[in-house]
Structure 1
Amino acid sequence: MSHATTATAHAALPLETRVARFPAKQVAVAPQHIVSYREADSAHSVALPLVLLHGIGSGAASWVQQFEALGATRRVLAWDAPGYGESTPVAAASPVASDYASVLKAWLDALGVARCVLVGHSLGAIVAGAFAAANPARVAGLLLVSPAGGYGAAEPDVRTSKRDARLAMLAGLGPAGLAETRSANMLSPHADEAARDWVRWNMSRIVPHGYAQATHLLANADLAADLTTFTGRVAVAVGAEDGITLPTACARLARIARASFQTVPRAGHAGYIEAPTAYNTILDTFCRASDASAGNRSFE
């Protein structure tokens, strides 16, 4: 069944019904530390696993349309980042990307994933970049979707003001208020109501402490620096109407990473939610190319 046919078959169902097919799981990665995640596991597939990292206002469930479309041919895994869902927060109050990358390594170890195609959306791209830089042999391909670059290279007052403004917004609005006032910024004007509802649903379920730690991560991180050290396969994609991680900024990161770059028409920041067919094609094409370069010749 094609990705388009699969999407059509599921589209009539409520998203909460669809995500229930991929229930949250938990795995211990250290004493008293767990990671919650969801997966679609294609039995006996020789394809590389696909690992999906969500952004600051989201969670593992946001990838349901990717589970449906891509899980038929490969194992697809999406975590709730530390401090999200039921995942244990990182220890540092003001963490850096390597703190999250270390948990990612422990999670993949626990699941027996030795090598994968790694996809990071927005803040997830920061974690993906840090992991790839530290563990290049484990990443057959790195795909950054609307990547956030972080403010680690900015002037201290810029870093502080960006961090404090987001923390104040969290304190004033809480998760439900953030979902109501900020979710529209994640999408283009072309998004349908189902996509808008799904972005709100995911954002309303953030855990304040985890979101606050992720805000510090955003202030501390410098994705560009990590991309200069990773020499493997990299691609960058961004919605043409992304108002959060602007296409010009994403193109700069692509140049630094010596990566292929593409924009997706009529898509905003959470493009994989509002334009799943286009993004599933991008992910599938990138995964198959990574399979082939890794020696899985049947995927050329």
Structure 2
Amino acid sequence: MIEHMRWPWSSRNTLPLLHVDIDEGEGPTVVLVHGIASSTTTFTNVIPMLLPDHRVVAIDLLGFGASPSPADAGYTIEEHVEYLERTLASLDVGRCILVGHSLGSLIVARYAATHAEAVRALVLVSPPVYLPPDAFGDPVERTAMGLYLRAYEFLRSNKRFTIRNAAVLSRLSPIKDVLEVSERNWRAFTLSLQHAIETQTAVSDIAAVSAPVQLVYGTLDPFLMPGGLRIVEQMRHVSVHRVAGGDHVIRPRMARVVATAVASVAAREFRVG
């Protein structure tokens, strides 16, 4: 059973809200949650496809974009969910469709697992579903998972290298300002990487979700672990959409798949609900 870790009421009531970059449109509510070292810019290609028929809410994660960066934040998955919960409550979104990208997909999966009454459907885009290396029976996958974790540890331990190379990747990205690792968000980046990606419970969270789940990912995404994805793909409530040639960035082609997935679950859920 997944425990819903909550802050003491006195502390929760003083937490700042996350930055809501967009709250526009009418129709079924779709909440967009970006990944690590990014912002709502992640969904640049998705938002125009959703706005004609949906209320679109796009939120910056704790420590990223224009959201607050509390000095005492640990950037655990529980903390990210707690801030998301309070922010959504302040917007009165009701039952919504949650779309998460990368780290955002792990956060919305935990939110959906612990707030079943608030979620109509879940769309997970490019989720880095990781398991401990010794959980893999295949020695190749076990080695690959170990290499991912060592690479992330290297990034966290080499600040100058990481910031410099993130800036290069940002300039090469097809979406302007989609990636930021800087002095400003360094703490949020390293702690979110360590406490919410490297250490995670995504498989059990997704298994515990009662709402329908749409899984979208590119076949050339370098951050995905095939062994973890296979476990999720076999779950009965999960529908899979593979984007041939797609990588980790939500380019127009992947954006169309995401928008179609949202529209399909919105139509189904609202016929039922």
For the aligned pair, the TM-score class normalised by the smaller chain equals 0.7 to 0.9
Once the two structures are TM-superposed, the CA of residue 205 in structure 1 deviates from its matched residue by: 5.8
Choose from 23, 35, 43 the match for 2:18: 35
Choose from 193, 202, 211 the match for 1:215: 193
Choose from 152, 176, 179 the match for 1:203: 179
Once the two structures are TM-superposed, the CA of residue 183 in structure 1 deviates from its matched residue by: 5.1
Give 1:285-296 correspondences, 5 Å limit: 285-296=260-271
The aligned residue for residue 166 of structure 1 is: 155
Counterparts in 2 of 1:281 and 1:110: CA distance versus 1, 3 Å = same
The aligned residue for residue 139 of structure 1 is: 119
Give 1:1-300 correspondences, 5 Å limit: 30-31=13-14, 33-39=16-22, 41-42=24-25, 45=26, 47-89=27-69, 94-151=74-131, 153-154=132-133, 161=150, 163-169=152-158, 171-173=159-161, 175-180=163-168, 182=169, 196-198=173-175, 201-204=177-180, 207-216=185-194, 217-246=196-225, 249-256=228-235, 258-270=237-249, 272=250, 274=251, 276=252, 278-296=253-271
Q: Give 3-state SS (helix, strand or coil) of 2:178's partner.
A: helix
Q: Which amino acid aligns with 2:160?
A: G
Once the two structures are TM-superposed, the CA of residue 35 in structure 1 deviates from its matched residue by: 1.1
Once the two structures are TM-superposed, the CA of residue 100 in structure 1 deviates from its matched residue by: 1.0
Q: Which runs of 5+ in 1 are unaligned?
A: 1-28, 185-192
Give me the whole-angstrom Cα distance separating, in 1, the residues matched to 2:198 and 2:72. 14
Counterparts in 2 of 1:220 and 1:246: CA distance versus 1, 3 Å = closer
Q: Deviations over 1:82-119 (max 9, x none)?
A: 01123123676644322211111111111111111111
Q: Give 3-state SS (helix, strand or coil) of 2:123's partner.
A: strand
Contact 2:181 2:189 in 1 (8 A): no
Once the two structures are TM-superposed, the CA of residue 202 in structure 1 deviates from its matched residue by: 2.4
Work out the number of aligned pairs and report it: 249
Once the two structures are TM-superposed, the CA of residue 264 in structure 1 deviates from its matched residue by: 0.5
Of 84-93 and 74-83, deviating more is 84-93
Contact 1:36 1:87 in 2 (8 A): yes
Q: Which amino acid aligns with 1:138?
A: A
Instruction: Please give the root-mean-square deviation of Cα atoms over the aligned residues, in Å.
Output: 3.0
Q: Deviations over 1:181-220 (max 9, x none)?
A: x559xxxxxxxx7xx2426x22236511211221122122
Counterparts in 2 of 1:57 and 1:95: CA distance versus 1, 3 Å = closer
Contact 1:142 1:235 in 2 (8 A): yes
Q: Give 3-state SS (helix, strand or coil) of 1:232's partner.
A: coil
Q: Which amino acid aligns with 1:165?
A: F
Counterparts in 2 of 1:93 and 1:112: CA distance versus 1, 3 Å = closer
TM-score, normalised by the number of residues in structure 2: 0.79
Contact 1:132 1:139 in 2 (8 A): yes
Q: Which runs of 5+ in 2 are unaligned?
A: 1-11, 135-144
Q: Deviations over 1:37-60 (max 9, x none)?
A: 321511xx2x22111111113111
Give me the whole-angstrom Cα distance separating, in 2, the residues matched to 1:112 and 1:268. 34
Once the two structures are TM-superposed, the CA of residue 256 in structure 1 deviates from its matched residue by: 3.8
Contact 1:247 1:263 in 2 (8 A): no
Q: Percent identity?
A: 20
Counterparts in 2 of 1:94 and 1:31: CA distance versus 1, 3 Å = closer
Q: Give 3-state SS (helix, strand or coil) of 1:177's partner.
A: helix
Once the two structures are TM-superposed, the CA of residue 176 in structure 1 deviates from its matched residue by: 4.6
Q: Which amino acid aligns with 2:29?
A: P
TM-score, normalised by the number of residues in structure 1: 0.72
The aligned residue for residue 17 of structure 1 is: none
Give me the whole-angstrom Cα distance separating, in 2, the residues matched to 1:110 and 1:258. 30
